[in-house]
């Protein structure tokens, strides 16, 4: 990460709902992993994409293969998961839903069950150590691995949903969008839904997934990851948009990830604008903060500067994310209380005469005004 976000964004209490564990490993932790495994000859430049650089989606997925070589034992997973949780907490994230694909590694004796248990152990240890963050876990299906593995993953997720004391709350569908078809995963996803797992599905990450998105939206998912090509302006369709809007399915939006992976040409053309100006629930997320060298504060700042959001707008975005989470209702209420307490610390009303220089000031339009600005820009 090159430049930290401004204090306002760092102090803002935040909710992170789309973070892949192995994509979130910081450069500091990566240094330790590389030092532990010198025989792999992995250099730091192979595990992260510096800001301003662009990669094809395929190149981004190659990076995960390298990281997986470095994180292949219980010990590694425990270290990585604890560090990632602590880093999100240090960035002002108060509620985090981590997701990860359980892997087995014969070399180290790691099983998929132990993989999930180790992530849960990391979450417990952070809680015991007093890290100020509530963490939940989504078990991920890698679409590349097909029907049978997807079904096994759902079974694993269901077992942990019942035995983890509320830590495992749902299922993620992710992996290289150019590989496999969602139709083959439908039975597994339906089973997951029926047993009470929440569904966060990567959807329409690339233009060719229209048919798949139609199918998956009928489940329906509880949240959409990216949804880059859903809307008609980029080759999606009104039918897809209607399905998303009617069911008010929140969309997890990851600006840096999409621009770096070149599925979105530039920040100002990010589909955040399309959904946000329609008042649809949007949640800013990092996706892979380690790989894309970002953090959630930076993503908020980026959205604010690109789309001219006021502090109030930014606050509302972060608060709205509470209700898009898979947290149980009492936890959402506790988070609401936390936000209410922190609001006067973070936001200063226009009439307040600041005794110290404001943390952040930008004379920008509020949300209705933003809508009209964008409408004018779009002719």
Does position 22 interact with ligand IMP (CB under 6 A)? The reply is: yes
Q: Return the ∠ at Cα 119 (arms to 113 and 123), rounded to 5°.
A: 140
82 three-class SS: helix
Cis amide prior to 220 (ω within 30 degrees) = yes
* Contacts to ligand IMP from residues 156-215, by CB under 6 A: 174-175, 202, 205
Does position 84 interact with ligand IMP (CB under 6 A)? The reply is: no
Does position 23 interact with ligand IMP (CB under 6 A)? The reply is: yes
Does position 257 interact with ligand IMP (CB under 6 A)? The reply is: yes
Interface map 62-81 toward ligand IMP (x if CB under 6 A): --x-----------------
d(CA 363, CA 361): 7
Does position 299 interact with Zn ion (CB under 5 A)? The reply is: no
What is the biggest distance separating any 2 CA atoms in the chain, rounded to whole angstroms?
63
Structure tokens at 98: 């981590």
Does position 95 interact with ligand IMP (CB under 6 A)? The reply is: no
Catalytic residue among 16, 97, 105, 205: 205
Does position 100 interact with ligand IMP (CB under 6 A)? The reply is: yes
Task: Determine the distance from the C-alpha atom of residue 127 to the mean position of all C-alpha atoms in its chain, rounded to a whole number.
Answer: 21
Does position 288 interact with ligand IMP (CB under 6 A)? The reply is: yes
Does position 97 interact with ligand IMP (CB under 6 A)? The reply is: no
| Alpha helices by DSSP H, 14-111 | 27-36, 57-70, 74-90
Alpha carbon of 229 to those of 94, 112, 207: distances in Å? Answer: 30, 33, 6
d(CA 150, CA 163): 20
Which residue in 140, 224, 309, 321 binds ligand IMP (CB under 6 A)? 140
Question: Cβ closer to Zn ion: 62 or 366?
Answer: 62
* Contacts to Zn ion from residues 274-293, by CB under 5 A: 287
User: Which residues, listed in sequence order, are joined to residue 20 by a DSSP beta bridge?
Assistant: 99
Q: Annotated catalytic, 59?
A: no
Write out the residues near Zn ion by the rule CB under 5 A. 287
Name the site residues for ligand IMP (rule: CB under 6 A).
Answer: 20-23, 64, 100-101, 140, 142, 174-175, 202, 205, 257, 287-288
């Amino acid at each position: 990460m090159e430049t930290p976000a401004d204090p306002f964004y760092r102090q803002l209490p935040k909710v992170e709902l789309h973070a892949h564990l192995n994509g979130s490993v910081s450069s500091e932790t990566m240094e330790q992993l590389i030092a532990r495994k010198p025989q792999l000859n992995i250099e730091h430049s192979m595990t992260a994409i510096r800001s301003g650089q662009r990669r094809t989606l395929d190149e981004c997925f190659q990076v995960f293969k390298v990281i997986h070589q470095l994180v292949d034992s219980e010990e590694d997973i425990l270290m990585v998961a604890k560090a990632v949780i602590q880093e999100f907490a240090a960035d002002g994230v108060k509620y985090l839903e981590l997701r990860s694909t359980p892997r087995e590694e014969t070399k180290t004796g790691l099983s998929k069950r132990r993989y999930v248990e180790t992530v849960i152990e990391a979450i417990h240890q952070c809680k015991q150590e007093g890290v100020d963050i509530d963490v939940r876990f989504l078990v991920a299906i890698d679409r590349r691995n097909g029907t049978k593995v997807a079904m096994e993953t759902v079974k694993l997720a269901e077992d942990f949903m019942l035995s983890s004391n509320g830590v495992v709350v749902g299922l993620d569908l992710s992996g290289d969008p150019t590989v496999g078809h969602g139709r083959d995963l439908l039975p597994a996803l339906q089973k997951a839904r029926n047993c009470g797992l929440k569904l966060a599905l990567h959807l329409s990450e690339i233009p060719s997934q229209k048919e798949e998105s139609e199918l998956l939206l009928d489940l329906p998912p509880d949240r959409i990851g990216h949804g880059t090509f859903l809307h008609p302006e980029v080759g999606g369709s009104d039918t897809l948009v209607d399905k998303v809007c009617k069911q008010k399915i929140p969309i997890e939006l990851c600006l840096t990830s999409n621009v770096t992976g070149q599925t979105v040409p530039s920040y100002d053309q990010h589909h955040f604008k399309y959904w946000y100006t329609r008042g649809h629930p949007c949640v800013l997320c990092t996706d892979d903060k380690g790989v894309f060298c970002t953090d959630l504060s930076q993503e908020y700042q980026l959205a604010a500067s690109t789309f001219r959001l006021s502090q109030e707008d930014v606050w509302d975005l972060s608060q709205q994310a509470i209700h898009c989470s898979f947290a149980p209702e009492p936890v959402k209420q506790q988070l609401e209380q936390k936000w209410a307490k922190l609001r006067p610390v973070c936001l200063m009303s226009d009439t307040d005469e600041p005794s110290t220089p404001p943390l952040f000031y930008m004379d920008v339009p509020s949300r209705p005004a933003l809508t009209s600005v964008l409408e004018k820009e779009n002719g």
